Chains A and B, each alone.
Chain A
Amino acid sequence: MSDPILSVRDLRVRFGTKRGVAEVVNGISYDLHAGETLSIVGESGSGKSVSVLALMRLLAEPPAAIAGSVLLHGRDLLKASHRDMRSVRGKDLAMIFQDPMTSLNPVRTVGYQLSESMSLHLGLTADSARRRAIELLDMVGIPSPDVRIDEYPHQLSGGMRQRVMIAMGLSCDPDVLIADEPTTALDVTTQAQITDLVAELQQRIGMAVIWITHDLGVVAGIADRVIVMYGGRFMEEAGVNDLYAAPNHPYTDGLLGSLPMPGADRPEKLVTIPGLPPDPVAMPPGCPFAPRCVHSDASRCHIEVPVFEPDRARHLVACHYPLQVTA
């Protein structure tokens, strides 16, 4: 396999808070290859958004403290200067945010915001940036882009704004597009359009995508690989089909069990996972999921943190008692 574009090793993020140190991301590692879609799934507060904001160095430090390494084409971003980081953002690593209603500047036109990163990174003149902005709007499926380019965000619908955000993300041909729950704030029809759009553009442009979501249903359609995150740690990592067919971690199993399955004759009662996610200021010493896990035992799960067994290369699980032992 070729060298990964992005290689994250033992990434840790802590926040100093009034109540103490919040350990939000606790040593996560993954590789991202060209053209691949990696999905990081987890519930609110699992640290998924913070982990990508940390690798883009978009968290204010302090209060955040980031450790580990993030290698982009072999260069460690966590050691890069602010100046270098600015040239990476938007150019090599681009990001789309959750709520398209708030991620566009209300007082600037669509065209201004689209052209901005192109003039910053590609040194395009106003004219050629505008021409390319119209092309991009057309590419993300916005009708009459030559009119829309001079409009303000409030004149666009949510779906269109997210398309504009995607166009902004793609404007400098990034190697990696990070999508932080880009469909969460949209209605279901628009969600499907946006995920399809990203999948289609990815095939055309060949970038890698990190897709952060809490919705396993969205993941199924687009991801190659899925990482399940909980309490700042990775619980399970597998190809999308393997994960759905045979979840090995009790948490993944619980998440899949809580999904409504359309088409079933009589809908079964949805399974819920009892309890609440762990408090990042007072993380349990062992497996973060142990307090909510029906399979946990006091001798191991509550004391020892389970880690990925590296030899089971294609389907990794961080659990002392995985559900299936078919690797």
Chain B
Amino acid sequence: MTVAPSTPMERLPEKPVSRSREIWQTLIANRLAVAGLVVLALLVLMAVLAEVIAPFGINDIDIPNRLTGPSMSHWFGTDDLGRDVLSRVIIASRVSLQVGFIAVGFALAFGVPIGLVAGYYRGKTDSILMRLMDILFSFPAILLAIAILAVLGPGIRNAMVAIGLVYTPIFARITRGSVIVVSEEVYIRAARSLGARDGRIIFRHILPNVLAPIIVQTTLSLAFAILSEAALSFLGLGVQPPNPAWGRMLAEGRNFFQQAPWMGIFPGVAILVTVMSFNFVGDGLRDALDPKQKSVIESRGQSV
């Protein structure tokens, strides 16, 4: 019995549907995610053009006009030294986004390789690396960041390192979990059966398959990193005066909350909007990348 190699039994060539396009379509079907994306795009634009947009200099002191409420000339009012709150909020967006991105980049750069190595090699390597991560993870995030800053000294650069270090174990854990699942796949064994070395298998075959959860975690972590930066600056450990940061402005506004609530409200709103936007985008991405996994809220609602 001889059957010709190509037969009509095989499926006809179909139109290739790109996976990235499918993901994009799912994402933009989600209204909250789209809103988040738009706000984030505006925020980034604002941060980049901060100096051009800001109507006043961040340290233009105008004592006669101190603690004036929102008006046509000062949309967000002025603070206790007569500085324009709007300008300070705009300039501070730069710091917040910068700290968020660099800190999360730091966490990614360390956490993902640690997770890849631990999940792929298992055994002792895994135990040692993950126990180290567990130690970092066992401290409340902000407390650990404060401890690190107490050692390194306050300042924006050290704040980035501290926040990055605090978020490293999250990425290590998420990566490791997915790597363990993917490592068991036949195609990994098949790659090995072709003579591929470990490094190649880890970075070219496993990493692309575990990217989805890492991407989602990155967006969500950006939100938390910005929140952490605000908290550290609030405590005076992050951005040092006279440079503005949302957390700092919130702390300063606290003293004048009765007379000049706008001093605290506007930076607070800025934090809220930024963090929520990242969260919405993160949720949308998770739904788009992994339709099987329900959002935390959904699954909680079902289990209760």
| Chain A residues within 8 Å of B, Cβ to Cβ | 56, 58, 86-91, 94-95, 97-99, 102-108, 116-117, 120-121, 140-144, 147-148, 150-152, 155-157, 159-160, 163, 165, 168, 189-190, 192-193, 196-197, 200, 221
Complex: how many Å from CA A121 to CA B193?
Answer: 12
B1→A196 contact, CB < 8 A:
yes
A89→B5 contact, CB < 8 A:
no
CB contact under 8 A between A104 and B193, given known A159-B10, A221-B1: no
B 181-217 binary contact with A (CB < 8 Å = 1; else 0): 0000111111111111100000011001100000000
| Chain B residues within 8 Å of A, Cβ to Cβ | 1-7, 9-11, 13-14, 16, 19, 185-197, 204-205, 208-209
Most buried by A among B11, B194, B204: B194
Complex: how many Å from CA A293 to CA B187?
Answer: 39
B191→A140 contact, CB < 8 A:
no
CB contact under 8 A between A94 and B194, given known A99-B186, A105-B209: yes
Closest chain B residue to A178 by CB distance?
B193
CB contact under 8 A between A143 and B16, given known A91-B195, A103-B187, A108-B205: no
B190→A104 contact, CB < 8 A:
yes
Closest chain B residue to A114 by CB distance?
B194
Residue from the list A98, A102, A121, A141 in contact with B185, Cβ < 8 A: A102
- Those 10 A-B pairs whose CB atoms lie nearest each other, nearest first: A141-B5, A90-B194, A90-B195, A117-B194, A89-B195, A95-B193, A157-B11, A102-B186, A103-B186, A107-B208
CB contact under 8 A between A86 and B197, given known A104-B190, A151-B16: yes
Closest chain B residue to A88 by CB distance?
B195
Given known contacts A120-B194, A189-B9, A196-B3, what 18 new A-B pairs fall within 8 Å (CB)?
A86-B196, A90-B194, A94-B194, A95-B193, A103-B190, A108-B204, A116-B196, A120-B196, A148-B13, A157-B11, A159-B9, A159-B10, A165-B190, A168-B190, A168-B194, A193-B3, A196-B2, A200-B5
Closest chain A residue to B14 by CB distance?
A155
